[in-house]
A and B are shown apart, each in its own frame.
Chain A
Amino acid sequence: MKHKSPAVRLLLLVLIGAVLIIGSGYVDQLRSYQGAQAAIFAIAISSIVLLTGYSGQISLGHGALMAVGGYAAVLCQTHLHIPYPFAFLVGTFAGGVAGFLLGIAAARLRGPYLAGTTLALAVGLPSLANQFHILGGEQGLLFDVGNPPASLGSDFTQYRWFFVVAVIAAILVFWLLRNLLSTRYGRRWRALRANPTAAALSGIKVGKAKVLAFTLSSCVAGLAGSLFAMLLGLVAPLAFTLTLSFTLVTGAVLAGVSNLGGSIVGAVVLVAIPELSNTAAAHFGGSDKVTANLPGVITSVLLIATVLFVPNGPKLPRMKFLARTRQ
């Protein structure tokens, strides 16, 4: 990726996107749904990669930032009746505002203290929905983006449409992030992660750089949250649980936390695990209790194995972008 210009990158990404979108016409609805899910997870994981892999800050609360984005998008669409693509922008912006506020606090904290603060957010924030009527309480708010555009034909399924929207969003995010990370901001963040003291001595404003990273990462999380709301058709506190936050961190670790392209691999693995465990359970039999807990077990084992044996993520072929952006 080192010397590719932004235009070339965009071209490559658009090409990959086109292949995926055309390909989605040849798979069933279930795969379209899983593809959309993977694309949304990839966006969410990339926000963790930006934050942890580049600026060296940790967040266990990105599920809550996704909730902020999701709720903002839904509220705007319901009350202001804006078209849903703009609702995604609102979600992105709202995530960024929340992230900015959190980032100011986060920049003063490190390691376990930062983890604790963001964890508290993940636990506490979604239950705010129960405090205010406008947020719809436990059963949440519905988010209806309507049917796919009629011009695509009547057999263009809703899930395929979600997949297309999610893939386009993912391509934009990856292009923007990749470009951003090869500017001086990216270099500053890497310096910061390697050694904050040395970075400060080199004239980098540590606090400012950290807050910026947190804000941008939260923007991306907010976008992922509003796309997630589109996929679910609703926002509810239970949709943005602690488990979601942990899942995102797991996905980032599985893929090598400082590897942007790896977030796609992480996302695909996360979507594939329940599928694999279902097949395994069907093959070996076993009770509902075993089947229900198997995905959790597989994820945990993979996580432990990754941390033990390949802490920087599995070595991916250095074909860089093409290889890494594959679904």
Chain B
Amino acid sequence: MFVQRRTKGGIFAAAVVAAAALVASALPAHAETGVTSSTIKLGVTIPLTGAAAPGYNKIPAAMNAYFSYVNANGGVNGRQIKLVVKDDAYSPAQTLSVTNDLILKDKVFALVGTLGTANNEATTRLVNSQGVPRLFVNTGFSGFADMKKYPTTFPLFPSYATEAKVMGKYLADNFAGHKVALIYQDDDFGMDALKGFGTAGTNFVAKIPYAALSQADPSVVGKWITSIVAAGADTVVMFGVTSATGALAGGLYKANLIGKVQLILGSVGSDGTTLKGLLGPLAPALAGSIAASFLPSPADATDEYITQFKAINAQYNAGATFDNNVLVGMNTAMLTVQALRAAGTSPTRASLIKAIETKGSTWASAAFSPILYSPTSHVGYTGYWFGKLGLDGNAVSVDGPGKYTLYTTDSGSAPVVKACNSSSNASEGIA
């Protein structure tokens, strides 16, 4: 009796095990957080309210527009992408609170395009402890490429040191013999730049530091102008935020120096739309300035990415004006989709990170610069092209429309490589 019952139980147990094995083989081995059979949930934190919101608040809608386009075309391996957007008002405290929500409550699979250096720093502990992939963070702080400190984080934008090195090369090639002055923001941003110019061996007749946000003080701008005139500079490199570029343009205008001094602007301080908003009728004063960029000009109708993004924008983004912010949002979303596809049919956080590290460098992206992701590097873009600002505030390549000379290098001591890239920035076509 006892034996028989045990046998019965044994058969039952075996049946259960077999059934379980069948079910297990039919289902993904381990259901990853934020991934179901029909959806993948992603999260982004970005300022939608507050002083930093204008411009940036267009990015999530642009990302969503691209995801809607992909979802309408079958999604990623049959899964629809869902983006949870959280406002952090650009305050790191707020970023941490809403990221807690995203990771612990909404249970997103990954974070994408989270904006701000301090904001991303504040969530690093949480992101690292939970192993959440943090893709294509929206900041130029080169520190995020440190894989030991930020193992799941992938910065995308080129570092400021890279930019300064590239600019140094451009100056050496095109402005040899000119008297060049440098204005820079006196913090890590500017220090990174000084380091880059140092590596490039650029000589400045004057180096003019200014404290962040002090550009609003007319006496500070006055000091810039006096220093420029005293040094007899005919070329000025501006390595600051957009409002500092605006203040400089105003100062030059007042001193009647417009047209007498060639301005060269860093990518941070040269967004045409924002400058137009800041300067109003003074905006044409900046026409002819040279600006570094890594994404194509949003006004470039010959660029296949711009054309396609514009079409998606028209169909899925309720008539938003197509500008740099929309371009950044769509480009981030396009890379995200490629990453999710590459992560396999049952994506996990680990497979996503592995996919970016092993395949990320081959993906299509709107920038001309290659992406340097590899199992030993989380460095994203590494290159810039130079454009001239037109009267409408948009940059046109110095080599003529549709022709781009790309300068690439790293944040360290590698040389700057110059490449003509007149035709296409695509490596695989649009995802």
Binding site for B on A (CB under 8 A): 28-30, 33, 37, 127, 130-131, 133, 136-140, 142, 144, 158, 228, 231-234, 236, 238-239, 241, 243-244, 274, 278, 288-289, 291-293, 296
Distance in Å: Cβ of B254 to nearest Cβ of chain A: 25
Say whether B118 contacts A234, CB under 8 Å.
Answer: yes
Please, which residue of chain B has its CB at the minimum distance from the CB of A128? Answer: B211
Task: Point out the residue from B48, B50, B105 that lies within 8 Å of A288, measured CB to CB.
Answer: B48
Please give 4 more A-B residue pairs, beta carbons under 8 A apart, in addition to A138-B212, A292-B49: A144-B125, A231-B96, A288-B85, A292-B48
The CA of A236 and the CA of B189, in the complex, are separated in Å by 15
Interface centre among A127, A142, A158, A238 (most CB of B within 10 A): A238
> How far apart are B55's CB and chain A's nearest CB, in angstroms?
15
Q: Is there a chain A Cβ closer than 8 Å to B34's Cβ?
A: no
A288 touches B212 (CB 8 A): no
Contact count A vs B, C-beta below 8 Å: 94
Instruction: Decide if A228 touches B93 in the complex (CB within 8 Å).
Output: yes
Instruction: List the B residue with the shortest CB-CB distance to A28.
Output: B104
Given contacts A139-B188, A278-B101, contact A127 B213 (CB under 8 A): yes
B124 at the interface (CB under 8 A from A): yes
Determine the chain A residues whose CB is within 8 A of the CB of B98 once the complex forms: 274
B180-219 vs A, Cβ < 8 Å mask (1 yes, 0 no): 0000001111000000000000000000000111000000
Whether B187 contacts A130 by the Cβ 8 Å rule is: yes
Residue B117 at the A interface, CB < 8 A? yes
A96 to B159, CA, bound (A): 40
- Shortest C-beta distance, A237 to chain B (Å), equals 8
Distance between Cα atoms of A299 and B125 in the complex (Å): 29
User: Could you list 17 examples of A-B contacts with CB < 8 Å?
Assistant: A28-B104, A30-B101, A30-B104, A138-B212, A139-B141, A140-B92, A140-B121, A142-B121, A234-B122, A236-B121, A238-B118, A239-B122, A243-B89, A244-B91, A288-B61, A292-B48, A292-B87
Interface range on chain B: under 10, 10 to 19, 20 to 34, or 35 or more? 35 or more
**Is the contact region of chain A dominated by helix, strand, or loop, or is it mixed?**
helix
Contact with A along B91-115 (1 / 0, CB 8 A): 1110011101100110000000000
Contact between A239 and B93, CB atoms less than 8 A apart: yes
Q: A30-B100, A139-B188, A236-B92 are in contact. Are A288 and B118 (CB under 8 A)?
A: no
- Which residues of the partner chain B approach A136 to less than 8 Å between Cβ atoms? 188
A296 to chain B: which residues have CB within 8 Å?
49
- The CA-CA distance from A293 to B60 in the complex, in Å, is 16
Cβ–Cβ < 8 Å partners of A231 in chain B: 96
Complexed CA–CA distance, A233 and B91 (Å): 13
Residues of B within 8 Å of A130, CB to CB, are 186-187, 211-213
A130-B211, A139-B117, A139-B121 known; A33+B129 contact, CB < 8 A: no
Task: Give every chain A residue within 8 A of B150 (Cβ-Cβ).
Answer: none
Known contacts A236-B118, A293-B49, A137 near B212 by CB under 8 Å:
yes
